Chains A and B, each alone.
Chain A
Amino acid sequence: MSGIADAIENVTGAWILPIMVGLPLIVAVVLVIARRLSDDVATLVAASTATVTFVLAILASIAAGPYRDGEMVLELDRSWVPALGVGFHFGMDGVSAPLVLLTGLLGVLVCVHSVRVRPASGRARLLVACYLAVVGGALATFTVMDAVLFFIAFELVLVPMWFAIAFWGDDTQPDAPGRPGGEVARRDAANRFILFTAIGSALMLVGLLYVALQTGTTDLGKLADLAGEGLSHDVQVIAACFIVVGLSVKAPAFGVHTWLPPAHTIAPTGGSVLLAGVLLKMGTYGLVRVAVPILPDGFRTVAPFLALFAVLGIVWAGLACFVERDLKRLIALSSVAHMGFVLLGIASMTPQGLQGALFANIAHGLITGLLFLTVGSLKDRHHTADLALIGAGLRDRVPRLGWLLAFGAVAGLGLPGLAGFWGELLAIVGTWQSTGASSSLGTAGRPFAVVAVVGTVIAAVYLLRVLRLVWHGAAADAPQRVVPDATRHEVMVAAPLVVATVALGLLPWLLLDLTGPAVRVLLIVSGGNQ
C-alpha cells in the first residue's frame, strides 16, 4: 500500500483528484459532441472511462491513507480567483474517501450496465454521457474543499440528472387516482426534481455566501479550522438554517421528500441507481463537511428539528411503503426512511452518530443501488413495476433475479451481518448518547433513539411484504409466466454490490477505520459532544 502511495506521490501528487474529477466530465462532453459515434462504441467508451475513474478513485484513496489521525493527507490547494478568495482546493480524507469509492463503483456499474441494457427510447450515447457527468460532478462534490466550488459541483450534477429523467424517463406509467401517468408523469417528475433540488441548492448558496461574507473566506478547510469562531450565535443559526434546509432537500428529509418517489419511479435504471447511490449522499455529505464543522453552534440549534424530521421520515415513509403498489416507488420511499437514519446520526453530533451516518450512507448506496438494478431488470421484463402485475413466484420463474431481489430486501431491512445494520445501529447509539445539556439533541435524544429502534422493524414489515407478494408464491398465478432470467451480464453488474454488502456487514472496520479518525477530528475542532 505505501509503495502505491509513494508512486502516486511521485507521479501526480494530489493532482490525481482533479484528474479523477475531470476525466469523466471531459469524456461526457466529448460523447455529447461526437454525434457520429454509435451507441455501441459510446457505451464502451463510457464504461472504460468509468473504470479508469474508479481505478483513479482507488489509487487516490490509497494515497490519502492511512487515515489514522484523521488529518487530510492528500490535498491540492492553488489559488484560483484570489480576489474572491476562491481557491482551486481539492482534498480527500476519511469522510470523502468512502463516498468517492462508492461513486466510482456505481459509475462503473451503471455504464457497464448500459453496454448491454439499452434505453427503450434509444440515444444511449447521450444517456451515458449524462451518467458520466453525474459521476464527475459527484466526485467533484466529494473532493472540493472550497464552498463556491462545492456549490458549482453540486449544481453540475442536477442538470445531467434532469436530462436523464426528462428524456429517458418512463412515459408509460399508468394513470393512478390523483396522479396522471404517461408523458405528464414524466414531465412532472423531471420538473419536481429540478424545482426542489434547485431551490435547495439556492438556499444552500445563500447560507454559504452569508458565511463567506462574514468570514472572508470560502475555503472549507479554513472555515472548519475556525469552527464558527468569529461568527455570532445568531449568524450561525441563520446560516445553518439555510444550509441545513437546502441540503435536507437533497438528502431528502421528511417533508421535502416528495420529489424523490416520482423521480426514482420515472428515471431509467442507471439514473435511479445514481440518484439513490450518489445524489442523495451529496446532501448528507454536505451536512457533515459543511454544516457540522463550520457552524457547530448553529447546527446544534437546528439539530433537534433535523432529528425530528429524520425520525418522522423513518416511521412515516416506512409505514407508507407497506401499502405502496409500485416497486420502484416503494424503494424510493424506503430511501426516505433509510436516509432518516443518516440524518439522525448527523444530528446527534456524536462520533458514533456521524460514523453511523457515513456508514449508512455507503450501505444505502450499495443496497438501494442493487435493488434499483434488480427492479429495473424486472421492469424491463414485465413492462411494469406494479407488484400485482409483476406477480408471484419470482424465485421459481426467474431464480437469479429473484435471489438478487431477496438479498436486496434482506439487506435493506438491516439484517445484522449485512452492511445496512451497522449504520443504523451506530446512528441509534449516537442518538442515544446525544443527551444532556451540552449535547445537540438534549432531552429529545433518547426518545428519538427509541423511535428509531422501532423503525428498524418497520423496514422488515414492508420488505417481507414485497417478498411475499412477488418472490414467494405460486409461479402459476403470475400474469406473465415466461420472462427471461437475469443475463450473465446483469448478474456481473450486481455481484460487486452483493459482495460489498456482505463484506461491510461482516467486517465493518473496513469502513469505520476510515471514517472514525476523520469524524473525531471534525468534532474535536467543532467542540461537539464526545
Chain B
Amino acid sequence: MTVTAAILTIALPAVAAVCGLLFARSRTAAAEWGIVGALGAVVASAVEAFGVATGGSAASITFLGRVDLGVGTLALDIRTDSLSSSVSLAVAVVAACVQIYSTAYLHGEGTPEAPIRYPAYAATVSLFTAAMMLVVHADDLILLLVGWEGMGICSYLLIGHHSERATARAAAVKAFLVTRAGDLGVMAAVVLLLGSARTTSIRALIAAAEELPASTVTAAALLMLLGVIGKSAQFPLHTWLPDAMEGPTPVSALIHAATMVAAGVFLVARLLPVFFAADGALTIAAIVASITMLGAALAALAQDDLKRLLAYSTISQVAYMLAGVAVAQDAGEAAPGVFHLLTHAGFKALLFLVAGCCIHLVNSNLMSRMGGMGRTQPALMVLLGLGLAALAGIPPFSGFWSKEAVLTAAEHAAVEGDGGLVAWIVLVSGVLTALVTGVYSGRAFSLVAFGDPAPSEDGHETEVHRLPRAMMWPLWVLAVPTVGLGLVLLSPPDILHGVHVSWLTAFTGTLVSLAGVGWSLTVTRIGGKDVADALPPGVRAFLRDGYRLDDVQDALVVRPYRALARLAHAGDQEVVDFYPRGSVTVARWAGLKLRRLQAGMANGYVAWVVLGAVAAGLAGVVLS
C-alpha cells in the first residue's frame, strides 16, 4: 500500500496535468483538474507517510522498468522511506494550497495583451508537482535527473508565464540556463558513475559508497554539488532566483521557495553517504553555504521589492539547510538540514502567499506602497507576523526549532566533532545571519504593517477590499505548520531522529534574532522610516543589486558566448563552406546539365534511376 501510494503521488499530478491540458474546455475545469491532482497527492503522501511510519523499513519498487546497458542494469525504481514520505507530504500540501490560491489570484481571463492562460498554468503546476515527487521518490540517479530537469522546465514555463513582459522572458531563460549549467555536473556524475561504479542506483551507491574508488566518489560528489548549487541557488549560481520572481507569486511560493530550490539540499541528504565518503565535498558545501547565507541575508536587507526580499531570504535559508546537512558528523545525520527544509517549506510558502495577497491589494511589489496594512488587513498581518517570526527563528515557531537544530549541529561539529575550522565558519556565519534575518524580518513587517502607504504615482487610492476566501484559506492551512511543526520533535519520524537543540545555542540564537527584530521595529517606533536607511546609499544599492554579480556574469559568460556564436556562424558560411564554393563552377555545370534532364517526362526520371542502378551493377561486374 505504501508503495502504491508513493506511485500515486507522482502519477496523480502527472495525469492531472495531461488531462488539464487536453480535456479542460474551460478555466474552471482546468482549475479543478489541478486541485484534484494536488489533493490526490496530499492523500497519497499522507497514506505513504503513515505506511512508512508504521511499516518501518524503506521499500523499493520497479517503476519505469529496467534497462540492460551492457555495463550494468539501469533500474528505474522508486523508493519510499522516511525522507521521501516527509518531503512529499510537504510538497503536496504546499502544491494543493497553491492550486487553490491561484484560482483567485489569477482571476479572470486577462486582456488580449496580457492573457491569464490559466489552463496552461494549472497544468504546469501539476506537472511540476509530479516532477518534484519523482525527485523525492527516485531510487536511481537518472530517474532523479528526469524529475530534476522536469522541474527545471516547469520552472522555466512558469517564470515566463507572463511572457508578454520582456523581464519575464529574460528571467525564464536565465533560470533555466543557470540551473542547467549546474546540472551539467549531475549529468557528468551520472556518466562517471555509470563508467566506474557501473550503477546509478541510489540504493547501490549508498551501500557501496565506502568501497568505490576514492577518486570516483570524490569527483562524482563534487560534480553533483555543482548541480546542487545551481538548483538550490547557492553562490555563485544563485543569480537566477531573484529574477525568477517575475513568475506569478503562487508559483514563487511553490517552486522558488518551498520545493524546487530545496531539491538540491534533498539530493545531498539523499546521497549523504556518498558525499560523506568524498573527500572535501561537504567542506566545500559548508563554505559555499556560509558565504551564501550571510551574503543573501544582507542583500535581503536592502531590497525594496517584497518578493525579491523573500527571494534573497530563500537563498539564505536554503544555505542554512545545506549547512545543516554539510556539518553532519555521521553518514546518517542529515536530520537538521532536512528539518529546516520541512519547516521552511511551510513558513516560506505562507510568506509568499501573504506577499501575493499584499501585491493583489496594492497592485505593486514595492513595500513602500504597502504600509498601514496593520489597520486595513489585520488578519493578513497576523499571518505575515507568524511567517516572519518563524523565518527569524523566534520561539516557539517552527523556524526556531529547525534553525537552532542547524546551529546546534554546527556547534557540535566545531566543539566536539572534527568539523574544525569549517564548522566554526558555519557557526559564526549562522549566528550573524540569524541577526540579519531578524533585522530584515522586522523591517519587512514594519514597512508593510505599520506606517502609511506612499501615494501611488497616478494619485489613485487603493480601495480597501476583502480578500477572496480561496486566497485566505490556504494561508491558515499553512499557518498550522508554521506555528506548530516544532511539536513533531516530541515524536519525530525516523529522518528527524538526529535533531538536537542545545539550550545554550537556542538561547544565544533567540537573543540574536530578537535583537535584530527589536532593532528594526524600534527604528520605526522612534521616528525612523526604514532600518535600511542606516546603510550608506552606495552600499545599499550595491546590496540591492545583489553585489552586481549579474554584470560579472554578463562580462564573463554572456558576451563571450555571443561573440563566439557569431564567429561560428560566420565561419560556417565563410570558411567551412569555402571548398563547396570553390567547386561552384562544377555545380553550375552540373546544374545546367541536370536542368536539361528536367525537361523530360517523369518516365525519363525513372529511366535514370534504373540506369543508375544498372550502372552501379555494371561497375561491380567490371571490378570483381
Please report A residues at the B interface, Cβ cutoff 8 Å.
29, 32-33, 81, 84-86, 126, 133, 148, 151-152, 155-156, 159, 163, 166-167, 178-179, 187-188, 191-192, 194-196, 205, 209, 212-213, 218, 254-255, 257-259, 316-317, 319-320, 322-324, 333, 350-352, 355, 393, 395-396, 410, 415-417, 421, 425-426, 428-429, 432-433, 449-450, 453-454, 456-457, 460-461, 464-465, 468, 471-476, 505-509, 512-513, 516, 519-520, 530
Name 8 extra pairs, CB < 8 A, besides A425-B187, A461-B561: A85-B624, A159-B609, A163-B605, A213-B623, A393-B163, A395-B117, A464-B173, A516-B67
Do A468 and B173 have beta carbons less than 8 Å apart? yes
Does B459 belong to the interface (CB within 8 Å)?
Answer: no
Closest chain A residue to B183, Cβ basis: A457
Do B565 and A320 have beta carbons less than 8 Å apart? yes
Do B68 and A460 have beta carbons less than 8 Å apart? no
Does B536 belong to the interface (CB within 8 Å)?
Answer: no
Do B619 and A209 have beta carbons less than 8 Å apart? yes
Name the A residues within 8 Å of B117 (CB-CB).
395-396
Closest chain B residue to A176, Cβ basis: B573
Contact of A453 among B65, B67, B187 (CB under 8 A): B187
Shortest distance from the beta carbon of B584 to any chain A beta carbon, whole Å:
9
Do A258 and B577 have beta carbons less than 8 Å apart? yes
CB-defined A-B contacts under 8 Å, sample of 26: A29-B606, A32-B606, A148-B617, A152-B613, A159-B608, A195-B590, A205-B616, A205-B619, A218-B620, A316-B568, A319-B568, A320-B569, A323-B562, A352-B69, A355-B69, A395-B117, A396-B112, A416-B146, A416-B149, A425-B190, A429-B69, A457-B180, A457-B184, A474-B164, A475-B112, A509-B66
Please report B residues at the A interface, Cβ cutoff 8 Å.
64-71, 112-113, 115, 117, 120, 142, 145-150, 153, 156, 160, 163-164, 169-170, 172-173, 176-177, 180-181, 184, 187-188, 190-192, 194-195, 561-562, 564-569, 571-574, 576-577, 580, 583, 586-587, 590-591, 594-595, 598, 602-603, 605-606, 608-609, 612-613, 616-617, 619-621, 623-624
Do A456 and B187 have beta carbons less than 8 Å apart? yes
CA distance A257 to B69 in the complex (A): 31
- A33-B146 contact in complex given A191-B590, A512-B67, A512-B68, C-beta closer than 8 Å: no
Q: Is the interface of A mostly helix, strand, loop or mixed?
A: helix
Closest chain B residue to A179, Cβ basis: B573
Do B177 and A520 have beta carbons less than 8 Å apart? no
- A320-B177 contact in complex given A393-B164, A416-B142, A474-B164, C-beta closer than 8 Å: no
Closest chain A residue to B174, Cβ basis: A464
Shortest distance from the beta carbon of A311 to any chain B beta carbon, whole Å:
14
Name the A residues within 8 Å of B598 (CB-CB).
166-167
Do B67 and A513 have beta carbons less than 8 Å apart? yes
- A156-B576 contact in complex given A32-B602, A396-B115, A433-B71, C-beta closer than 8 Å: no
Contact of B70 among A352, A457, A472 (CB under 8 A): A352
- A468-B169 contact in complex given A316-B568, A429-B195, A457-B184, C-beta closer than 8 Å: yes
Among B112, B146, B194, B572, the most chain A Cβ lie within 10 Å of the Cβ of B572
Name the B residues within 8 Å of A187 (CB-CB).
591, 595
- A155-B612 contact in complex given A457-B177, A516-B70, C-beta closer than 8 Å: yes
Closest chain B residue to A468, Cβ basis: B169
- A258-B64 contact in complex given A86-B620, A194-B594, A320-B572, C-beta closer than 8 Å: no
CA distance A26 to B135 in the complex (A): 52
Contact of A415 among B68, B150, B177 (CB under 8 A): B150
Do A456 and B624 have beta carbons less than 8 Å apart? no
Shortest distance from the beta carbon of A164 to any chain B beta carbon, whole Å:
12
Name the B residues within 8 Å of A454 (CB-CB).
184
Name the B residues within 8 Å of A417 (CB-CB).
146-147, 149-150
- A195-B195 contact in complex given A126-B602, A148-B617, C-beta closer than 8 Å: no
Do B566 and A323 have beta carbons less than 8 Å apart? yes
Do A32 and B195 have beta carbons less than 8 Å apart? no
Closest chain A residue to B622, Cβ basis: A209
Contact of B163 among A32, A163, A473, A512 (CB under 8 A): A473
Among B147, B603, B620, the most chain A Cβ lie within 10 Å of the Cβ of B620
Shortest distance from the beta carbon of B326 to any chain A beta carbon, whole Å:
26
CA distance A32 to B610 in the complex (A): 14
Contact of A316 among B561, B572, B613, B619 (CB under 8 A): B572
Name the A residues within 8 Å of B66 (CB-CB).
509
Do A319 and B188 have beta carbons less than 8 Å apart? no
- A516-B142 contact in complex given A395-B163, A410-B153, A425-B187, C-beta closer than 8 Å: no
Closest chain A residue to B565, Cβ basis: A322
Contact of B569 among A205, A257, A323 (CB under 8 A): A323
CA distance A151 to B615 in the complex (A): 12
Contact of A516 among B68, B163, B191, B595 (CB under 8 A): B68
4 tightest A-B contacts by CB? A351-B70, A472-B163, A319-B568, A322-B565
Shortest distance from the beta carbon of A511 to any chain B beta carbon, whole Å:
9
Contact of A155 among B69, B153, B172, B616 (CB under 8 A): B616
CA distance A507 to B143 in the complex (A): 11
Number of A-B contacts (CB under 8 A): 218
Contact of A428 among B65, B115, B191 (CB under 8 A): B191
Name the A residues within 8 Å of B190 (CB-CB).
425, 429
CA distance A101 to B183 in the complex (A): 33
CA distance A512 to B142 in the complex (A): 15
CA distance A472 to B173 in the complex (A): 11
Contact of B142 among A425, A433, A457, A465 (CB under 8 A): A425
CA distance A254 to B608 in the complex (A): 31
Do A449 and B191 have beta carbons less than 8 Å apart? yes
CA distance A188 to B588 in the complex (A): 8
Do A255 and B619 have beta carbons less than 8 Å apart? no
CA distance A218 to B616 in the complex (A): 14
Contact of A457 among B120, B181, B586 (CB under 8 A): B181
CA distance A324 to B70 in the complex (A): 40
Name the A residues within 8 Å of B192 (CB-CB).
432
Do B112 and A324 have beta carbons less than 8 Å apart? no
CA distance A425 to B187 in the complex (A): 8
Shortest distance from the beta carbon of A286 to any chain B beta carbon, whole Å:
15
CA distance A432 to B617 in the complex (A): 42
Name the A residues within 8 Å of B160 (CB-CB).
472
Among A179, A194, A316, the most chain B Cβ lie within 10 Å of the Cβ of A316
Contact of A195 among B156, B586, B613 (CB under 8 A): B586
CA distance A443 to B366 in the complex (A): 57
Do A416 and B148 have beta carbons less than 8 Å apart? yes
Name the B residues within 8 Å of A333 (CB-CB).
572
Do A324 and B68 have beta carbons less than 8 Å apart? no
Do B609 and A188 have beta carbons less than 8 Å apart? no
Contact of B164 among A205, A316, A473, A507 (CB under 8 A): A473
CA distance A317 to B66 in the complex (A): 34
Contact of A191 among B67, B153, B587 (CB under 8 A): B587
Contact of B67 among A86, A156, A509 (CB under 8 A): A509
Name the A residues within 8 Å of B569 (CB-CB).
319-320, 322-324
Do B617 and A258 have beta carbons less than 8 Å apart? no
Contact of A432 among B163, B184, B191 (CB under 8 A): B191
- A84-B620 contact in complex given A258-B572, A429-B194, A516-B68, C-beta closer than 8 Å: yes
Do B617 and A516 have beta carbons less than 8 Å apart? no
CA distance A163 to B574 in the complex (A): 28
Do B195 and A432 have beta carbons less than 8 Å apart? yes
- A425-B565 contact in complex given A209-B624, A474-B113, A512-B68, C-beta closer than 8 Å: no
Closest chain B residue to A158, Cβ basis: B612
Do B623 and A159 have beta carbons less than 8 Å apart? no
Name the B residues within 8 Å of A258 (CB-CB).
572, 576-577, 580
Name the B residues within 8 Å of A29 (CB-CB).
606
Name the A residues within 8 Å of B69 (CB-CB).
351-352, 355, 426, 429, 512, 516
- A323-B565 contact in complex given A191-B587, A352-B70, A417-B146, C-beta closer than 8 Å: yes
Closest chain B residue to A460, Cβ basis: B180
Shortest distance from the beta carbon of A527 to any chain B beta carbon, whole Å:
15
Do A209 and B623 have beta carbons less than 8 Å apart? yes
- A255-B576 contact in complex given A425-B191, A512-B68, C-beta closer than 8 Å: yes
